[in-house]
């Protein structure tokens, strides 16, 4: 247990008596001035009274140094002169640093330009080197295409040469060396592909049509007579060429020969479908024009007689007539529904003899894709992709066209003369690629007839016809008929 100290009482406190050994502090002189204490070390005022404890003890004397509390330093107030000097330094300070900052910025920009310029120069040298390599590679392939006798291989070389020119053009666009080689490649490709300029000087149409009111779908030519089948107006019209010139129309207006709605031999002519020239041959006695309507009624037009009913025999096996052709007096109807071709033999100028199927029972054939038919003793069937099937006496014979560049994309019409293979010619119209192609009857390409000066003029091709006697090709589009001399091709 801790012993408690006896309480200090007023009677027990000895009065403080000055020591005899310690001299008293000298009294301050009235004239002397105490040395000032710096503001930031200014002590608390000495005369600040301490609280009275009520015991009569002087706490200041008892606590001694503890009573001297160190004051918190205070910030010295600047004089007006010092404030003005500081403001002056603020005003002049940044202006002195600006040149140094600008110098640093300039040096950084210069360094950036030098680095970028060096990289650009290096990359430029690389581009120039790669450009030369691609151009040299294109020349090598071009020379190989010129040297080979294989047209297919030559096309591959030219294709590779163009690809390398494309790469070179991406590195350095619009260089004259590239453009010159492109022209050379185009000329060589045209020679390899046997492209022949077409319609040059003959780009004005022989006849113009209004697509809003007319729909010409077929052209036939016999001497000075041009026959146009217009399914929208439902007419077969005849135009006459000038007998003195032969390359322009006469002043005679077009003549309507057959028209939807007219009555012939007690039968009403319905919507017109197809027409064909029908010269006298075999058992057919007179020449004329045969016209088929959508009801499978056949009408004959001949000069001096006019329109007559050809009395096409009814055929219950005929599904739908998709095309009509004529050869040596016989009429042929394409029936894609039943994959059959029906042959009608003439009886004088009538066709009242029962139809015969061209293909025998059991023949595996699909005629659904066929878009046109021509007959010269054999049957030629055209598909939209440009492929042709050849049949003789109902049996398919090997046949293929030469590869062409570019390939067929929208074959729409075919014309064949009556000359037997290997002579004879086939003409095919490709509407999408704006051209007419001539082949011999072995499939060899003779020419690609393309209107170089008017690249879109044949894009709406509908029908073609070749007047071999007068060496004219007629091209029928949706809005015009063109008559063009056939250029010199390979001889028969």
The reported pLDDT for the residue numbered 61 is 60
DSSP bridge pairs for 447: 438
Enter the tokens of residue 273.
């479908």
Q: How confident is the model at residue 490, as a pLDDT?
A: 62
pLDDT value of residue 348: 93
Q: Is the dihedral of CA 160, 163, 169, 174 positive or negative?
A: positive
Structure tokens at 244: 């003195």
pLDDT tens by residue, 94-137 = 555 667 777 788 888 888 887 777 777 667 788 888 999 999 99
Integer Rg of the chain from CA: 55
Give one DSSP letter per residue of 399-459, joined into a string.
--PPP-SSPPS-EEEEEE-SPPTTS-EEEEEETTTTEEEEEETTS-EEEEEE-TTSTTTTT
Phi, psi torsion values for 221, nearest 5 degrees: -135, 135
Residue 266: Cβ-neighbour burial (10 angstroms; 0-12, 13-18, 19+):
exposed
d(C-alpha 298, C-alpha 286), whole Å:
15
Q: Which helix (H) or strand (E) holds 355?
A: none
Question: In 29-70, where does DSSP find H-type helix?
Answer: 59-63
Residue carrying structure tokens 């075919």 = 414
What secondary structure does DSSP assign to 293-333, as a single string? Answer: ETTS-EEEEETTTEEEE--PPP-TT-----EEEEETTEEEE
How remote is the C-alpha of 113 from its chain's centroid? 40
Instruction: Give the H/E segment covering residue 323.
Output: strand 323-327
Tokens of 238: 């005849």
Query: In the beta sheet, which residues pair with residue 237?
Result: 228, 256
Output the pLDDT for position 97. 62
User: What does the alpha-carbon distance between residue 228 and residue 483 come to, in Å, rounded to a whole number?
Assistant: 14
Reduced DSSP (H G I as helix, E B as strand, rest coil) percent helix, strand, coil of the chain, to 5: 25, 30, 50
Residue among 143, 124, 128, 125 nearest 181 (CA): 143
Nearest residue to 209 via CA among 222, 225, 226, 223: 226
Largest CA distance in the chain: 177
How many other CB atoms sit within 10 Å of the CB of residue 264? 18
- Unique residue bearing structure tokens 């210069």: 110
**pTM summary value:** 0.73
- Residue 434, by phi and psi: left (phi above 0), alpha (psi -120 to 50) or beta? left
Q: How far apart are CA 56 and CA 9, in angstroms?
A: 10
Here the tokens at position 413 are 């019409």
End-to-end Cα, the chain, rounded Å:
147
Structural domain boundaries in the chain? 111-192, 197-485
* Parts of the chain with a pLDDT under 70: 1-75, 90-98, 121-122, 201-202, 490-492
Q: Is 55 helix (H, G, I), strand (E, B) or coil?
A: coil
Q: Which residue from 450, 484, 478, 441 is spatially nearest to 232, judged by alpha carbons? A: 478
Cβ atoms within 10 Å of 238's Cβ, excluding its own: 19
Q: Return the closest-CA partner of residue 276 out of 233, 219, 235.
A: 219
CA distance 221 to 228: 9
Helix (H/G/I), strand (E/B), else coil: 93: helix
**Residue 3 and residue 244: Cα distance in Å, rounded?**
159
CA nearest neighbour of 386 among 365, 367, 372: 372
Pick the CATH number of 197-485 from 3.40.630.30, 3.20.20.80, 2.30.290.10, 2.120.10.30: 2.120.10.30
- Helices (H), strands (E): how many in the chain? 4, 27
């Amino acid at each position: 247990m801790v012993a408690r100290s006896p309480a200090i009482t007023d009677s027990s406190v000895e009065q403080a008596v000055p020591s005899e050994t310690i001299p008293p502090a000298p009294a301050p002189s009235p004239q002397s001035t105490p040395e000032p204490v710096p503001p930031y070390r200014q002590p608390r005022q000495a005369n600040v009274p301490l609280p009275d404890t009520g015991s009569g003890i002087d706490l200041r004397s008892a606590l001694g140094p503890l009573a001297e509390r160190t004051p918190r330093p205070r910030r010295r107030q600047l004089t007006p002169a010092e404030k003005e000097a500081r403001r002056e330094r603020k005003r002049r300070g940044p202006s002195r640093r600006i040149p140094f900052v600008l110098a640093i910025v300039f040096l950084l920009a210069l360094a950036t330009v030098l680095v970028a310029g060096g990289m650009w120069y290096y990359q430029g040298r690389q581009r120039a080197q790669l450009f030369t390599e691609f151009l040299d590679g294109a020349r090598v392939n071009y020379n190989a295409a010129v040297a080979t006798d294989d047209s297919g291989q030559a096309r591959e070389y030219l294709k590779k040469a163009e690809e390398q020119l494309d790469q070179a053009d991406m590195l350095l666009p619009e260089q004259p060396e590239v453009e010159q080689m492109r022209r050379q490649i185009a000329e060589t490709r045209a020679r390899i592909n046997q492209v022949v300029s077409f319609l040059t000087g003959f780009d004005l149409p022989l006849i113009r049509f209004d697509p809003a009111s007319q729909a010409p779908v077929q052209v036939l030519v016999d001497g000075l007579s041009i026959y146009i089948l217009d399914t929208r107006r439902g007419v077969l019209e005849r135009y006459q060429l000038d007998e003195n010139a032969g390359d322009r129309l006469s002043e005679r207006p077009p003549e309507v020969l057959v028209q939807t709605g007219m009555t012939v031999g007690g039968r009403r002519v319905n919507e017109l479908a197809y027409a064909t020239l029908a010269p006298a041959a075999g058992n057919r006695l007179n020449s004329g024009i045969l016209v088929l309507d959508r009801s499978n009624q056949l009408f004959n037009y001949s000069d001096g007689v006019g329109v007559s009913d050809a009395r096409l025999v009814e055929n219950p096996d005929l599904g739908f007539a998709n095309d009509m052709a004529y050869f040596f007096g016989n009429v042929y109807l394409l029936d894609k529904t039943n994959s059959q071709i029906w042959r009608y033999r003439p009886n004088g100028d009538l066709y009242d003899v029962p139809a015969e199927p061209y293909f025998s029972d059991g023949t595996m054939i699909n005629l659904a894709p066929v878009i046109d038919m021509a007959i010269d003793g054999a049957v030629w069937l055209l598909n939209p992709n440009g492929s042709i099937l050849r049949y003789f006496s109902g049996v398919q014979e090997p046949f293929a066209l030469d590869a062409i560049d570019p390939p067929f994309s929208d074959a729409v019409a075919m014309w064949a003369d009556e000359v037997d293979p290997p002579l004879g010619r086939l003409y095919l119209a490709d509407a999408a690629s704006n051209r007419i192609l001539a082949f011999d009857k072995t499939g060899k390409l003779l020419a690609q007839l393309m209107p170089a000066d008017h690249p879109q003029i044949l894009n709406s091709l509908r029908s073609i016809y070749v007047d071999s006697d007068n060496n004219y090709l007629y091209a029928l589009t949706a809005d015009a008929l063109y008559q063009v001399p056939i250029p010199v091709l390979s001889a028969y």
